[in-house]
Structure 1
């Protein structure tokens, strides 16, 4: 199992997410690998000059290089290069998405299965935004070329990285980082993720996706208390959207359904940036993959229920890492992950106390009025119940975001 850490493509490292708990629980069945990749200005600065005289998406290429290294060397550690599962959460989940669609997915992937936890699909940068960010980097560093930027000490560049983002996008919408992977139809990422998945431009491998109950919470601003403030924030987040987009957004998320502007915003933000991407990935994987039953989705409403809540339950016995407050649930969750890594199915090696996890289109839960099975099966996890449920993201809300790929740019 190869871990790609999260951190908004601006922070984190190979030690961010320890794998000891899973390795110990697997009784030797799992080999765990984690990687470093370049972040912020080092990994994701772009623009026309860098396209001509450098490398775009360097951070994603670092990840691919690490996966290629695993292919060449994992046998020396007792591993099998044909049985690699990649796994990441948040920006790590966004990175898993990027690796799934790398280069149009026309070659053989350096992995056999993928786990994208709460995959971070924020607006990608277009060419104009890339050039604007690059020019800001030149201005703040008193440089006139990429060669000059390369001559600057790394400690200075590290400080510059956040300033470039802040100066380029003083109002970018709460919760987003503008040092994210670009798209702009470049070599590694050729199109928006929603487009790639719609067209089947992703690797045909078993897939597991999940998200937490309140994904938008920590990325929303509690000081926003009026609809005017929320709409101004939404316009910053979606600069390509027009009046009809926002009218429909608020039809789907009416203020009357929420007890505060904050909760209204956290709901649509969480849907747009994480929840709906899991729906897009799962539905298209079912439609396009050779084995349509090898697609699984989980919704998690335990722990904090916020972004990243599953992590404590998958590394619960590690000193210095936040501990799960329910060790039975931690054992169950870990067993699902180990089973998927070993068999590409969360069920065969799961704990004896772990309920069966239906595949996404197993048609095992819902039956329409006319007798037709409806599918969209997930595993819903709370503190009191674990069991199958129909995907809450199979909804008009996610269909709305999916239909407005240009406006939301993800």
Structure 2
């Protein structure tokens, strides 16, 4: 066994002493779990819709044997015209479901997992996970890293895994001029940042090295990773030290966004205020804070959700506020206002299919244009959206899921819409992002990939979030799972996916001179030139300043 580990004991519980108390964890299958460790005061009552307040009181002897709570979730909208989605949204908001999923406002907690028997002086590298879920849902409960940790041990590269609970939906990303004036914007990002600070203060007690932290996220978590790089204009220091040294982004980079007091965010705020019965209050934000939990939850979830007709036109997301996010993330990247660290970033080949299942009324190009214009970019000229749509081949053989001929087009504009949404939010935005960061910091390395390992899955292809099964959990122990986990674990150790990786897997070139992607299939990998759909990329890049969510 690796020298940082002591012989395993049969005990089902274990403990770690941190400055605030003794944390009792559980042991299973060679992995220790410490879930639900509070890092901030409960953000409820007067602290609802406020920046997180550090928890400085003693925890005493704290039971962390479970996975910890979830913050309030927005699985489905409780409003809108879709009866089924509305019914599901209201059902999920019931006290029974809230209890079963352990949803509560007092949710700002950490989950730490490590190889069983890790010594406090092991100084293992740390992998810090930020969950995804469209900034509407998710929790560390959903992500058990036991198999990933065991894989690291098997490779002789044990590491500490940490996941942070942060507020989502209206609890964590409510916008509006009232929120901006109160200094209460981008709360979910501030929760994540305080979680990173907790790691600096406490991870050494678990055997982790606070100077070797890699931040990793998927989807909204990946978007959050870059937001953490760009927070406060690129200041990633705490007590004079860097909070992280490397980054991994699965399916997400920058989201060009209108300001927190812009029209979209204000409309969402006004809807929440109305649904909470606060419209006539002299101080609507104070009214939202004083509303009972069920009232505020229903109001916050009454706006359109990601699993609906409006898709990735997100109701809640990080928005520039002049301080936490000084500008739109794409602008911060372009200006070099971010903490430049080595990074891995990539996408699923068919990112947009999952988000294009709800728009079956789109039967021709004009209807597709109107949908994108009215739902995503109502402030721009319609002709600008016409140009975007026209940059995509209208043939069903050209759409997503890609390379499937005439198959999988479940309604007339499905495959073209899936291609456009996947590219604008993920795939081509990633390429534009990499071009931007390469220009800003040419000596900071990056590696990029395209995942095609679920090719042939009907309708969805290699769809958004399918990497959770393949990469995070490794449920299918195929080539792709083994290769990507090996590259990632090497990266956590050395900030280079090739350094220490088995010769069974090819060298992964930096995204620099040739701008090649590593394309992962279920049984092999190959290099792929990152130049597909170039006409669309050029159009999106040229209009990045107006295509704002």
Q: Distance in 2 between matches of 1:174 and 1:229?
A: 16
Once the two structures are superposed, what CA deviation does each residue of 1:277-310 show, in whole Å capped at 9, x if it has no partner? Answer: 2113322232233633x20001000135100222
Q: Give the alignment of 1:41-60 within 5 angstroms.
A: 41-60=170-189
1:366 alignment partner in structure 2: none
Tell me the CA shift for residue 165 of structure 1. Answer: 4.2
TM-score by length of 1: 0.88
Task: Say whether the 8 Å CA contact 1:316–1:327 is kept in structure 2.
Answer: no
Tell me the CA shift for residue 402 of structure 1. Answer: 1.9
Query: CA 1:262 to 1:394, structure 2 compared with 1: closer, same or farther past 3 Å?
Result: closer
Q: 1:271 aligned to 2:423?
A: yes
Give aligned pairs, total: 387
Task: Say whether the 8 Å CA contact 2:478–2:523 is kept in structure 1.
Answer: no
| Structure 1 outlier segments of 4+, above 6 Å | none
Task: Say whether the 8 Å CA contact 1:140–1:164 is kept in structure 2.
Answer: no
Tell me the CA shift for residue 71 of structure 1. Answer: 1.3
Q: Give the alignment of 1:192-341 within 5 angstroms.
A: 192-220=328-356, 221=358, 223=360, 224-236=362-374, 237-256=376-395, 257-258=398-399, 259=406, 260-289=412-441, 291-292=443-444, 294-303=445-454, 304-316=461-473, 323-324=475-476, 326-341=477-492
1:367 alignment partner in structure 2: none
Q: Distance in 1 between matches of 2:346 and 2:481?
A: 16
Q: 1:179 aligned to 2:316?
A: yes
Q: 1:2 aligned to 2:2?
A: no
Query: CA 1:22 to 1:82, structure 2 compared with 1: closer, same or farther past 3 Å?
Result: same
Higher strand proportion = 2
Query: CA 1:107 to 1:95, structure 2 compared with 1: closer, same or farther past 3 Å?
Result: closer
Q: Distance in 2 between matches of 1:205 and 1:47?
A: 32
RMSD between superposed Cα atoms in Å: 2.2
Give the SS at the match of 1:387: strand
Task: Say whether the 8 Å CA contact 2:216–2:249 is kept in structure 1.
Answer: yes
2:289 alignment partner in structure 1: 150
Q: Distance in 2 between matches of 1:300 and 1:5?
A: 19
Tell me the CA shift for residue 60 of structure 1. Answer: 0.7
1:24 alignment partner in structure 2: 150
The gaps in structure 1 that reach 5 residues or longer are 318-322, 364-374
TM-score by length of 2: 0.67
Task: From the CA coordinates, give the structure whose radius of gyration is larger.
Answer: 2
2:166 aligns with one of 8, 12, 37: 37
Once the two structures are superposed, what CA deviation does each residue of 1:156-185 show, in whole Å capped at 9, x if it has no partner? Answer: 32222121447xx9x9843332111122x4
2:226 alignment partner in structure 1: 97
Q: 1:138 aligned to 2:273?
A: yes
Q: 1:191 aligned to 2:327?
A: yes
Structure with the larger RCO, 1 or 2 (CA within 8 Å, 6+ apart): 1
The gaps in structure 2 that reach 5 residues or longer are 1-126, 400-405, 407-411, 455-460
1:369 alignment partner in structure 2: none
Task: Say whether the 8 Å CA contact 2:148–2:473 is kept in structure 1.
Answer: no
Give the SS at the match of 2:527: strand
1:378 alignment partner in structure 2: 517
Q: 1:74 aligned to 2:203?
A: yes
Task: Say whether the 8 Å CA contact 1:338–1:349 is kept in structure 2.
Answer: no
Higher helix proportion = 1
Tell me the CA shift for residue 54 of structure 1. Answer: 4.4
Give the SS at the match of 2:447: strand
